Structure 1
Amino acid sequence: MRDVELRHLAAFVAIAEEGSFGRAAARLGYTQSTVSQQVAALEKTVGGSVFDRPGGPRPARVTPLGAVVLERGRELLARSAALGEAVERFKAGDGRIDIGTFQSVSSVILPTVIRRLRDEHPGCDIRLSEEEPDTPQIGQLDLLFYDGQVDGDVERVKLLDDPYLLVAGAGDFPDGPVRLARLDHAPMVAWPLDCDQPEMEEALARGGAHPRIVFRTAVNDALLSMVRAGLGCAVLPWLALRGANVEADPTLSVHELRPSLPAREIYLHWPAGRTLSPLASRAIEIAVEVAGDISGSA
């Protein structure tokens, strides 16, 4: 039965539904002889007649064997049609995409990326994983945003440089840039010592600033709440401050640092050597565009 072809089944079903070879041929856009050949090929495969052919104007009738083939054949044709529709939807951008992300990207870049993807492909399934391990791996993710380059067999594109800024209580520092030396022994709240945080604190030390870390948390909102409460200042990337809309908060002030610290680098990664889905490819294009727009507004 492995030699049964869908085109043979389609001809058989058309004849059964139309009642004649001629009407089935017209429906399928074939000649009547072609339809007859396809039915003959089907009967050879299944080992018996699927139609009684009374001749003349009387309709062709399905045999008992034909009834079995008709029932299962319709199921196969329906599955084939469903497969074709699913493939077309996939090519058009529907399907599922798994994205690894982190706080700043989730707040600032991803909302626009996801909205545009959903506008273009309403049937897509977008799933996010927000974890920031010390040694990130892309694993089964389609895309991974990370503040740095991920090791392994991946391809990547740099989205933007994310400069570090000082955020403090309103009036804690004069308006304008703040010299790093002013932060020496100053109370400060900070991220845990993972990702780029150790490098940032080493850069502070090279600039002569050895702040007194009084509290650490990986949650941006919690850090900013500690600054508002007067526990100390914080040095955070611009993207994190933008995501929290700090500039609109009158209780906080934002300052550039002098000399400036090396900016955090934001990358988008995807598995090397793996064929990307149209949805993943489009997500990369949109993320690059969004990051460019954001960088231009910094």
Structure 2
Amino acid sequence: MIDELTLVREQRPDTRAPDHLTVTRARRALLNRAVEGRRRRRRRVIAVGLIAAATLVVVGVVSPWSRTLTPAAAAALTTAHLEEHPEVGADQYLHIRKVERTWGYGEAGEVNPWMLEYWVPGDGSSEWVERSGEPDDRETNSFDDWGPDLYVDHADSMQGLLAQLRDYAKKNGEGPGLHGLWTVAFWIALDPVAPESFKDDVVRAVSSLDGVKVADPSFSSPGLNGRAIEMRGSSDFWFVVDPASGEFRGLVGHPEKDETWVGPEDPMWTIVFDNDVVSDKP
């Protein structure tokens, strides 16, 4: 499958293409920009937003580290992840991997070798490690840059959370209606830094809204299965949830066929987040 770097090189030959770590930071910048609210964001197709972010970083318009929370807030985010994984010892790490698979662009269900990974320290400190690139790419990055305060400071009730998400959408150029809520839910679900329980609450909340319907009651693909839900009038992507609990399991995208499609399957991508416990970081 063609990637963002190739597309930037082809579509912007006058621009120096970024390296993989820059693209990772650009992906994070998409979420950080939501906090700052300095530019209107539209996510019609996932690749379009990522290409735009990578290009903006290259030409110096977007600072990839535009948001840094206090050490206390960063530690609170670490705690939120570790509470969901009590099996992680103080001298171990929670390893989070964003796994993307594609159909119609080569081998069916092929895992993208470019994999975003995080190592969360079991001792509760805020010194996470981030790695991006091909499997043999050993660039690492320790940072104190996190997502929105909303990740660790949000309402317990569904209605309270929906009110916060509406405010979050309005602050970042989206409307307070279903489209805006669906969009910010996508941003949150796509971010490996967002705690799993928060993603569950967000997806449950937007699933309760009028205009959201079941797209496939028993969606199944390698690494992802469950009930798929969509916003009425749009099938760009689905949230996949546990049929019984409503917990978030992953994302499914249905891009339109373009010159990169090779078939024979209809174009599709899935994203899931895998976790395991490891004894060391890169």
TM interval, shorter chain, is under 0.3
In the superposition, the TM-score normalised over structure 1's length comes to 0.20
Q: Which one has a larger percent helix, Structure 1 or Structure 2?
A: 1
In the superposition, the TM-score normalised over structure 2's length comes to 0.21
